[in-house]
Structure 1
Amino acid sequence: SLKQILNLNQPVSSSLATEPVWKVLILDKYAQDIISPLIPVKVLREHGVTLHFLISSRRETLPDVPAVYLVAPTDENVQLLCEDLKKAMYDNFYVNLIYPLSRPQLESIASAAVHSGTMQQIQKLTDQYLSFISLEDD
């Protein structure tokens, strides 16, 4: 579910006893269209999302904050992700792809991580199969 993605790919607890991990959410326009009708900004905040940006926007480095990516694996987005890895933009990277990544794209990400020394910072790289827009949350 989208809430599990926001929870760093961990099961969402029904209890609010634990403080959320503060993070940034990196989206592309396609993912924004998927998430907007289902999760309002208030719910993003409840799940620890302090900032959300389009992957194509100019962003500052936040080296102490984990980033959750929810993007389509287009060549442009893969290149932007590789640039973020090379710059070590975030503490950890939780990459969620809307549909499956091609082998050459995976190799590009792996190469960028190896050459920049950010391999250990990639916590998840997951195909989520979310290439549809839902108008209801259940």
Structure 2
Amino acid sequence: MTTDLVLDTSVFVKGFVPPKRKKRDEVYYSRLALHRKAKSILDEVTMGRILLHEPVAMLVETASVVSRLSNNPALSRLAVSFITEHSLLYSDVYLLEIAIDLGITTKASGFDVLFLACAKRAGAKLITDDKKMLRKSGKSWN
């Protein structure tokens, strides 16, 4: 049996790109712990235990963020390939009505609303480390 999830881009990227901080302090170890948690989710995806449902806009956002963090175009393309190979992708048009309603209700950002709409449309759990998005997601199912 598989678990249906929507990963926020920040969670995906944290699992895909290890922390780069040179100083080994509390901040580094906190980021490393998040990386390991997020990577364990990606490992479960690879093993087929988790099925990802993602808005197609995640591909662009992931390419940009991974490139900015790693300065490695090949790693950016690998991240995008991982998403396309392991996700059901939802077009903005398919999510449009739900996204508009959620945007009006939650007042969340456009990107956040697409992830919320995708989770609602797919009946999937949203995984995010964005506290603001998490608060907004509570409103979205009321």
Q: Quick check: TM above 0.5?
A: no
TM-score (norm 1): 0.38
Higher helix share: 2
Higher strand share: 1
Higher RCO (CA < 8 A, seq sep 6+): 2
Give the greater-gyration-radius structure (CA): 2
